[in-house]
């Protein structure tokens, strides 16, 4: 029976990075386990994994999330090497200094913006920017449009007209305002971590990638992780390793911990799982960005590339909030048939949508298991708007979005607001009902194995990703964020992978 030095569970945004970095040392035997399929070359990559605008069709776990009581919606997660980085919309944006100041306030002193910046720089090759805040030569190719579409230009002008700044670089630490979104797309192909990190690493003889391998649980002996039990198609199989790192994402990692007996005592007993460590924070603290669309019917006959879906965004505040980064307003344009069909159910006319997205929600959800069987989906309860500030801020964001769409700068593009209708906008109660019935998220779940100091009962891992109570076991992915960042989450997950991989390389345990 082969003994590995490192077993990494999940080949997503963080896991592919951890495996690639650890396998740089040829003497280290690394095993990367992934539930989904693997496409080992660019040539073999199917269309949905190439095109950054197709993200919800295949290579998905097929989860559903409860948004508010009685309302569910599909909750996509990538199931393939590259994970959700292989199916996402490839917006490449970083968290901001105040986000990491909050992480430090919560007891994670190694995660200030100054400390994470070198890792954000290391992961990227920013094709357009350099200087103190950007990296050159890193694995993730990042670029911005060199000339935005006239509609996007008009949107930036509208934002400037209401007092916002025009932002040249949305990844600069002080970037508050409107500007072009950086994307990790090169030659039209989404640069997932499977391409950016694994492609170069996979020929190493010390790296084994096992795809279509569903990990059930961690094997634990006397409070020490010694391996994992997985189903690779031929029933249960065991893999043994000196250290195990969970990178199965904000849904997968807490689920594996719970199936291994690491979680809230009462919850594990309910499922008939023997308790290894009573850690009530496992599956708690689920956070995601609420997003809603204000949809306009667009004028036809304008100059616009039908393949451009999301080019510009506005970062600002709402509801009198003191946080200048409280909201994002991505502008979506759907002129092409494919995008209209995939995102707007083909309404028969082109669409412009401005989408207020709350960046620092106060509501917290939970992830629980429905069964100890790894093939059954967990219960994802987002508990949206359980904190009243969230509903108030999203409603305010919708009013801002509507007034922006109706600005004279956009008059050449916007025919009329299609949804919500005017009576809904004029009644606070109706707008609140509309939000509860129509709000989605950015598909950015984080926080379900949050890091924090030992004195904090809800903390699942320490700030190096070490799971409390079990040695040789770590988590490194979206699940360990103590609070969500004010941006889409992919680059932050990659940064977490880089940072924890570096600690793993240094530590000799």
Ligand X SMILES: Cc1cc2nc3c(=O)[nH]c(=O)nc-3n(C[C@H](O)[C@H](O)[C@H](O)COP(=O)(O)OP(=O)(O)OC[C@H]3O[C@@H](n4cnc5c(N)ncnc54)[C@H](O)[C@@H]3O)c2cc1C
Which residues lie near ligand X (CB under 6 A)? 9-15, 33-36, 55-56, 76-79, 83-85, 87-91, 214-215, 247-250, 252, 256, 374, 443-444, 477-478, 488-491, 493
Q: Which is nearer to ligand X, 77 or 121 (CB)?
A: 77
CB of 93 to ligand X, least distance (A): 6
Tell me how far apart the alpha carbons of residues 216 and 257 are, in angstroms, rounded to a whole number. 9
Which three-class secondary structure state does DSSP give residue 270?
A: helix
- Least separation in angstroms between residue 293's CB and ligand X is 15
Closest approach, Cβ 416 to ligand X, in A, equals 29
Smallest distance, ligand X to C-beta of residue 422, A: 31
Judged by beta carbon, residue 249 or residue 356, the one nearer ligand X is 249
CA distance 261 to 247: 18
Q: How far apart are CA 417 and CA 400, in angstroms?
A: 13
Q: Is there a contact between 216 and 231 (Cβ–Cβ < 8 Å)?
A: yes
Q: What share of the chain is helix, strand, coil (3-state, %, to 5)?
A: 30, 25, 45
Between residues 350 and 378, which has the closer beta carbon with respect to ligand X? 378
Q: Among residues 125, 183, 304, 444, which one is catalytic?
A: 444
Residue 182 CB contacts under 8 Å (≥ 6 apart), including other chains: 91, 92, 93, 126, 128, 142, 143, 144, 169, 170, 171
Nearer residue to ligand X within complex by CB, 192 or 414: 192
**Shortest separation between residue 40's beta carbon and ligand X, angstroms:** 15
Give whichever of 87 and 201 is closer to ligand X, judged by the CB atom: 87
Q: Which of 166, 12, 42, 57 is nearest to 489 (CA)?
A: 12
* Nearest approach, Cβ of residue 12 and ligand X (Å): 2
Contact 293, 437 (CB under 8 A): no
- Alpha helices, H only, 345-427: 388-405, 422-426
Q: Return the DSSP state at 87.
A: T
Question: How far is CA 462 from each of CA 172, 280, 449, 457, rounded to the nearest angstrom?
Answer: 29, 15, 10, 12
Would you call 444 a catalytic residue per the annotation? yes
Minimum CB distance to ligand X, residue 198 (Å): 11
Residue nearest ligand X (C-beta atom): 12
CB 449, CB 469: distance < 8 Å: no
From 357, 2, 325, 14, select the one nearest 174 (Cα to Cα).
Answer: 325
What is the rounded CA–CA span in Å between residue 434 and residue 428?
A: 10
Nearer to ligand X, 84 or 245 (CB): 84
Active site residues: 444
């Amino acid at each position: 029976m082969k003994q590995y030095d490192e077993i990494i569970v999940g080949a997503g945004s963080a896991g592919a990075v951890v495996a690639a970095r650890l396998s740089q040392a040829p003497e280290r035997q690394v095993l990367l386990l992934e539930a989904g399929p693997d496409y080992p070359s660019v040539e073999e990559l199917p269309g949905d994994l190439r095109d950054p605008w197709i993200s919800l069709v295949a290579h998905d776990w097929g989860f559903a999330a409860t948004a508010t009581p009685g309302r569910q919606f599909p909750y996509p997660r990538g199931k393939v090497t590259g994970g959700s980085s292989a199916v996402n919309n490839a917006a490449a944006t970083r968290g901001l200094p105040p986000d990491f100041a909050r992480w430090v306030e919560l007891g994670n002193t190694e995660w200030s913006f100054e400390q994470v910046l070198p890792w954000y720089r290391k992961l990227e090759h920013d094709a357009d920017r350099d200087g103190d805040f950007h990296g050159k030569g890193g694995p993730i190719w990042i670029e911005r449009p060199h000339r935005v579409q006239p509609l996007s230009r008009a949107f930036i002008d509208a934002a400037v007209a209401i007092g916002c700044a025009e932002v040249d670089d949305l990844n600069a630490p002080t970037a508050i305002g409107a500007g072009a979104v950086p994307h990790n797309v090169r030659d039209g192909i989404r640069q997932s971590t499977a391409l950016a990190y694994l492609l170069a690493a996979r020929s190493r003889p010390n790296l084994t990638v096992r795809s279509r391998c569903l990990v059930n649980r961690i094997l634990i002996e006397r409070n020490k992780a010694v391996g994992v039990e997985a189903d690779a198609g031929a029933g249960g199989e065991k893999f043994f390793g000196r250290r195990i790192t969970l990178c199965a994402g904000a849904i997968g990692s807490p689920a594996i911990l719970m199936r291994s007996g690491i979680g809230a005592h009462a919850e594990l007993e309910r499922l008939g799982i023997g308790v290894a460590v009573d850690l009530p924070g496992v599956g708690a603290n689920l956070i995601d960005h609420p997003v809603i669309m204000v949809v306009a019917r667009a004028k036809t006959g304008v100059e616009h590339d039908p393949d451009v879906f999301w080019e510009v965004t506005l970062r600002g505040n709402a509801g009198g909030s003191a946080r200048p980064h409280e909201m994002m307003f991505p502008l979506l344009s759907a002129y092409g048939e494919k995008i209209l069909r995939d995102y707007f159910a083909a309404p028969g006319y082109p669409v412009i949508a401005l989408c207020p997205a709350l960046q620092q929600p106060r509501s917290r959800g939970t992830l629980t298991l429905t069964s100890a069987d790894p093939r059954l989906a967990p219960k994802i309860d987002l508990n949206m708007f359980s904190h009243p500030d969230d509903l108030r801020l999203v409603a305010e964001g919708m009013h801002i979005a509507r007034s922006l769409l109706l600005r004279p700068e956009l008059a050449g593009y916007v025919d009329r607001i299609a949804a919500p209708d005017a009576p809904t906008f004029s009644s606070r109660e109706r707008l609140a009902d509309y939000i509860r019935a129509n709000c989605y998220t950015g598909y950015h779940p984080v926080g379900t194995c949050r890091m924090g100091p030992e004195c904090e009962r809800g903390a699942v891992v320490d700030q190096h990703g070490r799971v409390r109570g079990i040695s040789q076991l770590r988590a490194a992915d979206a699940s360990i964020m103590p609070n969500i960042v004010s941006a889409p989450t992919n680059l932050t997950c990659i940064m977490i992978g880089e940072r924890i991989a570096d600690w793993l390389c240094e530590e000799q345990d």
